[in-house]
């Protein structure tokens, strides 16, 4: 098996059109689009009967284990347009010692193994590859850190310019990563939606293309591969519950789309997991909307949380997130920063897995849902860790030894 077969082999493509997620209006494929005329995200649609005839589970199993093995369900038509840094299938890591005692099987989908160390690589590799197919030369976006790093890496790989606007309190490690990988990056005195407004304001003058979350159709197609992978990894049997750290919600929406497509091509049945949107108490617009029973979410003022990746005061795809959660029989819940910090520490100490704060939030949410009965103790649960914990500030370590003086090793036993 050629390890790069998925990147170089021409395969049949099945994109038929784009569709407004709000009105159903049809848009032409194979040309650049941002939001629909209704100001809502566009979704990529496929000839799923054609995919069903062209792709079998046996054929899929013969391909290298990377994101691009799903080519028939992805929008990039030509192999030459693929921009890749090695998007491997991410593992499912069982939690044993750090889960709540008596709980069922708990698996962490560890997205920190991807290029640039986060699941943002999935969405941005697709957006940048499609931008290459369209001949776009300059991309721009707002970012809390990880998405900007992914854009910078893939844009550099493709020979494109990238401009990224980040909230002023974005950690230095994220800003340095973005800059080192070739993008122009700027701190902005505001939150991520304020940064997004600058992208929109500068578009006419600069000519850049806006690749903000859900403001173009293709990041969701990259993120949906989480759901495709998950189904295959579990033997085509979906878990009972998925806990997903939700800011813009592209991955949650994408997985819900992936499950429908997998059923349409005959790879899975009608069973769906309950989708749980996990947010921080300091920024929980989806939780508030879910509890209020509204179809959309109002902006969360004065948003704050140490889990920067889910600090999104207002999501463009709010109604899609809420639909997926409700249609699945799931729920939305918010957790405290203090509990997130404790969860990250306990999982690192007990299971050796260094989670991001956003991943830690899913652990807290699972534990609380298990305690209050929203999740049963015999259910199979998947938690999403969206990035490696190495990309976040870690607690200091002060212990030291002086090798020139006597050491009481009994104290170290």
Can you give the pLDDT at residue 384? 98
Structural domains in the chain (count): 3
In angstroms, the CA 359 to CA 343 distance is 9
On whether both 245 and 191 belong to a single domain, the answer is: no
Mean pLDDT of 221-244: 98
Q: What is the largest CA-CA distance in the chain?
A: 77
Q: What is the DSSP string of 257-324?
A: HHHHHHHHTTSS-S--PEEEEEEETTB-HHHHHHHHT-SS----TT---S-GGG--SS-TTHHHHHHH
Instruction: Give the domain extent around 153.
Output: 120-210
Q: Are residues 179 and 30 in the same domain?
A: no
Residues 100 and 42 in one domain: no
Whether 195 and 232 share a structural domain: no
Q: What is the pLDDT of residues 90-105, one digit of tens each?
A: 999 999 876 665 668 9
What pLDDT shows up at residue 80? 98
Percent of the chain clearing pLDDT 70 (strictly above) = 99
Query: For residue 390, is pLDDT > 90?
Result: yes
What does the pLDDT read at residue 271? 97
pLDDT confidence of residue 281: 98
Residues 146 and 100 in one domain: no
| pLDDT for 101 | 58
Q: Judge whether 249 lies within some domain.
A: yes
Confidence (pLDDT) at 104: 82
Residue 288: the pLDDT is 98
- Domain match, 196 and 301 both: no
Q: What is the pLDDT of residue 344?
A: 97
Residue 148 pLDDT exceeds 80: yes
- Domain for residue 26, yes or no? yes
Give residue 210's pLDDT band: very low, low, confident or very high (50, 70, 90).
Answer: very high
**Model pTM score:** 0.95
- Percentage, residues of the chain above pLDDT 90: 96
Whole-number pLDDT of residue 346: 94
37 and 75 assigned to the same domain: yes
pLDDT digits (tens, 9 = 90+) for 267-312: 999 999 999 999 999 999 999 999 999 999 999 999 999 999 999 9
Write down which residue in 176, 210, 244 finishes a domain: 210
Question: 283 and 137: one domain?
Answer: no
Task: Retrieve residue 256's tokens.
Answer: 């819900």
**172 lies in a domain?**
yes
Answer yes or no: do 189 and 44 share one domain. Answer: no
Predicted confidence at residue 102, as pLDDT, reads: 61
The domain boundary residue, chosen from 189, 210, 231: 210
The number of beta carbons lying within 10 Å of the beta carbon of residue 404 is 5
Residue 400 lies in a domain: no
- Mean pLDDT over residues 166-176, rounded? 94
Which residues on neighbouring strands pair with residue 17, listed in sequence order?
A: 45
Identify the CATH number of the domain in which residue 146 sits: 3.40.50.1100
Mean pLDDT of the chain: 96
Mean pLDDT of 233-248: 98
219's tokens = 């990041």
> Is the domain of 148 the same as that of 286?
no
Residues 378 and 318 in one domain: yes
In a domain, residue 254? The reply is yes
Q: Is residue 401 part of a domain?
A: no
Q: What mean pLDDT do residues 75-87 have?
A: 98
Domain match, 32 and 103 both: no
Q: Is residue 215 part of a domain?
A: no
Q: Which of 24, 59, 81 is the last residue of a domain?
A: 81
The separation between CA 233 and the C-alpha centre of its own chain, rounded to angstroms, equals 18
């Amino acid at each position: 098996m050629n390890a790069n077969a998925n990147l170089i082999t021409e395969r049949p493509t099945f994109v038929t059109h784009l569709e407004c997620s709000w009105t159903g209006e049809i848009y032409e494929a194979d040309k650049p689009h941002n939001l629909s005329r209704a100001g809502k995200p566009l979704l990529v649609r496929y000839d799923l009967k054609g995919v069903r005839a062209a792709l079998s589970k046996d054929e899929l199993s013969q391909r290298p284990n990377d994101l691009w093995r799903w080519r028939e369900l992805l929008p990039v038509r030509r192999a030459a347009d693929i921009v890749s840094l090695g998007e491997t299938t991410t593992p499912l890591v069982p939690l044993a010692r750090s889960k709540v005692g008596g709980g069922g099987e708990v698996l962490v989908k560890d997205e920190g193994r991807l290029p640039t160390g986060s699941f943002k690589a999935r969405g941005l590799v697709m957006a940048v590859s499609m931008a290459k197919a369209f001949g776009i030369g300059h991309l721009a976006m707002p970012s809390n850190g990880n998405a900007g790093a992914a854009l910078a890496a893939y844009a550099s790989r493709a020979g494109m310019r990238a401009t990224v606007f980040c909230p002023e309190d974005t950690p230095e490690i994220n800003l340095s990563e973005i800059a080192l990988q070739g993008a122009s990056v700027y701190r902005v005195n505001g939150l991520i939606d304020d940064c997004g407004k600058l992208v929109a304001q500068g578009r006419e003058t600069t000519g850049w293309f806006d690749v903000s979350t859900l403001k173009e159709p293709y990041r969701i197609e990259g993120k949906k591969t989480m759901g495709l992978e998950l189904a295959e990894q579990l033997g085509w049997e979906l878990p009972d519950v998925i806990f997903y750290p939700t800011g813009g919600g592209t991955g949650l929406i994408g997985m819900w789309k992936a499950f429908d497509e997998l059923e349409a091509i005959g790879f899975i049945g009608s069973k769906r997991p309950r989708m749980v949107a996990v947010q921080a108490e300091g920024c929980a617009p989806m939780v508030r909307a879910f509890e209020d029973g509204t179809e959309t979410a109002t902006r969360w003022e004065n948003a704050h949380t140490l889990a920067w990746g889910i600090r999104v005061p207002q999501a463009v795809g709010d109604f899609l997130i809420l639909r997926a959660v409700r249609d699945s029989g799931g729920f939305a819940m918010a957790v405290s920063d203090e509990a997130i910090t404790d969860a990250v520490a306990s999982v690192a100490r007990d299971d050796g897995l260094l989670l991001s704060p956003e991943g830690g939030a899913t652990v807290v949410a699972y534990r609380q849902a298990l305690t209050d009965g929203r999740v049963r103790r015999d259910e199979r649960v998947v938690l999403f860790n969206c990035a490696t914990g190495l990309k976040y500030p870690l607690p200091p370590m002060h212990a030291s030894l002086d090798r020139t003086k006597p050491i009481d090793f009994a104290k170290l036993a």
